Amino acid sequence: MRALARPAEPTVNPLEEYFRTNQGRLLHKWMHYFDIYDRHFRPFRGTDVTLVEFGVFHGGSLQMWKHYFGPRARIIGVDVNPACKQLEEDRIEIVIGDQEDRAFLAGLRDRVGPADIVIDDGGHTMAQQIATFEEMFQAVRYGGVYLVEDLHTSYWEEYGGGLRSPGSFIEYAKDLVDQLHGWHIRQDPPPVTDYTRQLRGMHVYDSVIVFDKEVVPPPDVRKTGRESF
């Protein structure tokens, strides 16, 4: 009789472990975010990763990223509050500016150069999230990821959202789904955009969307093997 296999030991999420034992600066996170982060960010650990995070708060997440990615990481925090500048430390740079200001964001792209990861944990208003995505997705290098969190504000009127509100980031993202499928839309010519050519995938979670950026060629369908009848 074959012995039953033992269930796999639960994998320790290094980000959640850091959070639970944190003695550094203040961290404030929804607990289900840690699995999302680790799933999409793990390939960048130990590399020369450049990460840009909008929303510094007390600087705790910047320290978490520094620990998680390792000594080769370049961490850049962006916040509108000038007091955040004092939170700079080795391998953590703070840039002060308004994430709704497209001129500032264009300058930030030039200053930072290509980024591997961009995280929007800033002011969470619809105008801020959309402006930041449209300006900073351009800064993400191919093979990188763009993550927007706290998207439950898309359902809150005080942030400019509301269920199926046309101005919310969730509704904006639904349009990006259409653009991702631009090659298949039966129009002449097909409505192919830069996002059609650069969005490899979109991963939708509770309050989080992760965008994968790649060079996306037109879809190519082929057949192999013999016909059965």
Catalytic center residues = 124
How far is residue 216's CA from residue 82's CA, in Å, rounded to a whole number?
A: 39
Q: Which phi and psi (to 5°) does residue 130 adopt?
A: -70, -45
Strand, coil or helix: 102: helix
**Which tokens go with 71?**
């000594």
What gap in Å lies between CA 88 and CA 147, rounded to an integer? Answer: 23
Alpha-carbon distance of 220 to 151, in angstroms, equals 34
Under DSSP, is residue 159 helix (H, G, I), strand (E, B) or coil?
Answer: helix
Alpha carbons 49 and 116: distance in angstroms, whole number:
6
Residues 47/72, Cβ–Cβ less than 8 Å: yes
Q: Could you identify the residue written with the tokens 């290094």?
A: 14
Phi, psi of 170 (to 5 degrees): -60, -45
